Amino acid sequence: MIFEEIKEFYKSYDGKKCIIGYSCQSREIYAFHVGSDYCRQFIAVYAVHAREWVTALLALKHIRRGVAEGGGWIIPLLNPDGAEIVQTSFPLWKANARGVDLNCNFDADWGSGRLNVTTRGPENCIGDYPFSEPETSALAEFTQKMRPYVTLSFHTKGEEIYWEYGGRGDIRGAEIISRVTGYKIKKIYGSAGGYKDWCIKKLRIPAYTVECGSDSLSHPITRVSKLKKCYRLLKIFIESYGK
């Protein structure tokens, strides 16, 4: 199980690390620091959607590679309960264990997305109110505490980069990501309540969502090698964008 793999990695990790909070089923949400403390910090988050748990393995590759310049925090598995559901019983589940889609639960035009629903289930449920879920609340509190200069969210799939929300954003970072991966830069409409959206709208910092892996792949992707275009991405992005 991916949660157990991240947990064991946390135990053995010699660098700075912490638990930012707990899931609704009381699983730890781990964070790992890479690079220097004495600079502006980034936050990178993975496995927000349960069926995209393979991005947690991508996070481990990013942690092992580290960054030569800059520093920041990597959160490999925001949705550990949902990942457990996918790996044991419901392979297309996106939500957390309470049936709330975590990437619809942030306070950025919450509930206004084109596909948003209020009924709990495998995807698109917005929750009872912004940050109603312990996972999103923990990430929001950690983000406000760390005050990052940029955030990245790694999802699957489609080989696309989203960088804008509500007319704001910094396309320069998307251009760096595109140069490394070959992914297309894209604006999306009719979406709201995501982590990227909240970072851009409320915190007024650049934020990027990277949809890793070819759209020809089927959920859930189980082999991290399918995301190999992103292996060097975080390291190169931080060393380029942070300057």
Instruction: Give me the residue spans of the domains in the chain.
Output: 2-164+179-207+218-241
Predicted pLDDT of residue 197: 98
Can you tell me the mean pLDDT for 116-141? 98
Question: Alpha-carbon distance 130 to 112, whole Å?
Answer: 12
- For the question of whether the overall pTM of this predicted structure is more than 0.85, the answer is yes
* 8 Å CB contact between 195 and 106: yes
pLDDT in tens, 158-207: 999 999 999 999 999 999 999 999 999 999 888 999 999 999 999 999 99
Give whole-number Cα distances, 90 to 84, 100, 146, in Å: 9, 15, 35
| Cross-strand bridge partners of residue 211 | 155, 160
Peptide bond between residue 243 and the one before it cis (omega within 30 degrees of 0) = no
Query: Does pLDDT of 242 surpass 90?
Result: no
Predicted pLDDT of residue 243: 65
Task: Decide: helix, strand or coil at residue 58.
Answer: helix
Amino acid, res. 137: S
Tokens of 165: 């929300």
Q: Percent of the chain at pLDDT above 70?
A: 100
Mean pLDDT of the chain: 97
* 8 Å CB contact between 79 and 23: yes
Can you tell me the mean pLDDT for 74-96? 98
What are phi and psi for residue 228, nearest 5 degrees? -60, -25
Q: What CATH fold (topology level) applies to the domain 2-164+179-207+218-241?
A: Aminopeptidase (3.40.630)
Q: Residue 155: how many CA atoms within 13 Å on its side-chain side?
A: 20
